[in-house]
Amino acid sequence: MFQKILIANRGEIALRIQRACRELGIPSVAVHSTADAEAMHVRLADESVCIGPPPAKDSYLNIPAILSAALVTGAEAIHPGYGFLAENPRFAEMVEAHGLTFIGPSPAHIRMMGDKIAAKEAMAKLGVPLVPGSNGAVTDVAKARDVATQIGYPVVIKASAGGGGRGMKVAQDAGSLDEAFSIARAEARGAFGNDAVYIEKYLDHPRHIELQVMADDQGNVVHFGERDCSLQRRHQKLLEEAGSPALSAGARDRLGATATAALAKLGYRNAGTLEFLYQDGQFAFIEMNTRLQVEHPVTEMVCGIDLVREQIRIAAGATLDYTQRQISFSGHAIECRITAEDPATFTPTPGRVTAFHAPGGLGVRVDSGLYAGYFVPPYYDSLVAKLIVHAPTRADAISRLRRALEEFAIVGIQTTIPLHQRIVDDPEFQRGDYTIHWLEEFVAR
Ligand code: ADP
């Protein structure tokens, strides 16, 4: 096992990884920007290193500074968390080139899945169903028109290098295609430095259902069931559930069997998530994330396993402790992403937290770096807390969530807690009756 691990991240996920390290008896090194000197992940760290000024490009994305911090402190492995460098294949390669272990998949798999066109091609070859669309990149508007006519409108034009809900343009009809196509390419070039785009049918009532997988170096692959992440705003997730209110155990098993067989053939290693759109009983793959995800706790709650611990063990060469049959699902879990944003306009609300009280009690988990007196800096993602509840049934989980949201006090800055309270009280949400378009309409009501 590793003697020391460096955590190349901040906020709640840095704390989350620190906790897993501590339970494994492994000292960890926190890194931070000058803006985060007082952050909880630094305060609770065994050791910490300042890696640069506030802008992420100078600190949390500063590869030489992070590698130096690892070498100077004698860390043997680096956990990247999510965001920042987690899906940067160059970073994973450089970690390995410095004789350290990257806690995650191989750089080749990170690269393959980071290129969404390549990812779809690979999955199609492995027998995973896709959303109908162009086979590969579309480089001119005439081809775009052909593809769109063939699959039927509406269509979505996506950046191959896209992520985080960015780099997507919908064309409702032939009249809007040319413009959508050229905007999508220009935006992809600007945001990702790569103007490769592809086209998919834009589904009108899908759910976003994703599957958590874990694979070891010995070729064993298991899945930990699905998460329903259909509640999204601007293609970004806000509330996630495990399991999906729309999926039967049989459908989950079939999806799991297809996905794990595909990843075994690919020789994939460590944690990953396959994302699908699910409509009219059909699954269609959209992308794979080669890292731990924000919403991983709902899976942990229903499976009773620590996914970060598994990631670390596997990176150290250990074999998965269980077979698929030994993984069982118990109860229902829901996560609310609580952000420092105005709950009506979604304008970021950085500032000083003057009072903080986290809810507790049976089946309540709060992953957050907040505390009274903490200043939420304006430089980073606005996620400040994740509230996760677990209960025997979905109805019980909703009651527990309502109670926990009422107890939650974050004073001094506005957060999205009131929005989550409205969602929880909505009858359609309570029935589990929603698609990826539901929240956008709900917010506009
Ligand atoms: P990102 O990497 O930016 O998260 P994804 O490809 O995972 O992009 O898509 C993000 C979200 O956009 C999905 O969860 C879904 O809500 C929506 N979306 C993506 N592709 C389609 C599609 N073909 N039809 C309808 N909605 C889609």
- Among 87, 115, 160, 168, which is best to mutate for testing ligand 1, by the most ligand atoms less than 8 A from CB? 168
As a CATH number, domain 132-201 is 3.30.1490.20
Output the residue whose Cα is nearest ligand 1's atom 22.
202
Entry pTM:
0.97
Name the helix (H) or strand (E) containing 272: strand 270-279
Q: What is the pLDDT of residue 405?
A: 98
Q: Is 430 exposed, middle or buried (0-12, 13-18, 19+ CB in 10 A)?
A: middle
As a CATH number, domain 5-103 is 3.40.50.20
* CB of 293 closer than 6 angstroms to any ligand 1 atom: no
Q: Is 199 in a helix, a strand, or coil? A: strand
Which residue, among 352, 336, 342, has the nearest Cα to 386 in the 3D structure?
Answer: 336
Q: For the chain, what are the domain ranges?
A: 5-103, 132-201, 207-443
As a CATH number, domain 207-443 is 3.30.470.20
Q: What is the pLDDT of residue 75?
A: 98
Spatial distance between the Cα atoms of 307 and 289, rounded to a whole number of angstroms? 15
Spatial distance between the Cα atoms of 198 and 168, rounded to a whole number of angstroms? 10
> Which atom of ligand 1 approaches the CA of 116 most closely?
6
Output the residue whose Cα is nearest ligand 1's atom 21.
202
Q: What is the pLDDT of residue 259?
A: 97
* CB of 165 closer than 6 angstroms to any ligand 1 atom: yes
**Encoded amino acid at 127, one letter:** G
Enumerate residues 6+ apart whose C-beta is below 8 A from 394: 241, 245, 332, 432
CA dihedral 83, 84, 88, 94 (to 10 degrees): -140
* CB of 164 closer than 6 angstroms to any ligand 1 atom: yes
**Distance from the alpha carbon of residue 395 to the mean position of ligand 1, in angstroms:** 28
* CB of 232 closer than 6 angstroms to any ligand 1 atom: yes
Output the residue whose Cα is nearest ligand 1's atom 19.
286
Q: Is 416 exposed, middle or buried (0-12, 13-18, 19+ CB in 10 A)?
A: buried
Phi (first) and psi of residue 62, to 5 degrees: -90, 95
Spatial distance between the Cα atoms of 292 and 306, rounded to a whole number of angstroms? 11
**Distance from the alpha carbon of residue 306 to the mean position of ligand 1, in angstroms:** 27
User: Helices 107-114 and 89-97: crossing angle, nearest 10°?
Assistant: 170
Q: What is the pLDDT of residue 165?
A: 77
269 is a catalytic site residue: no
Q: What is the pLDDT of residue 135?
A: 87
**What are the per-10-residue average pLDDT scores of the chain (445 residues)?**
98 98 98 98 98 98 98 98 98 98 98 96 96 93 96 96 87 95 93 93 97 97 98 96 95 95 97 97 96 98 98 98 95 98 96 98 98 98 98 98 98 98 98 97 93
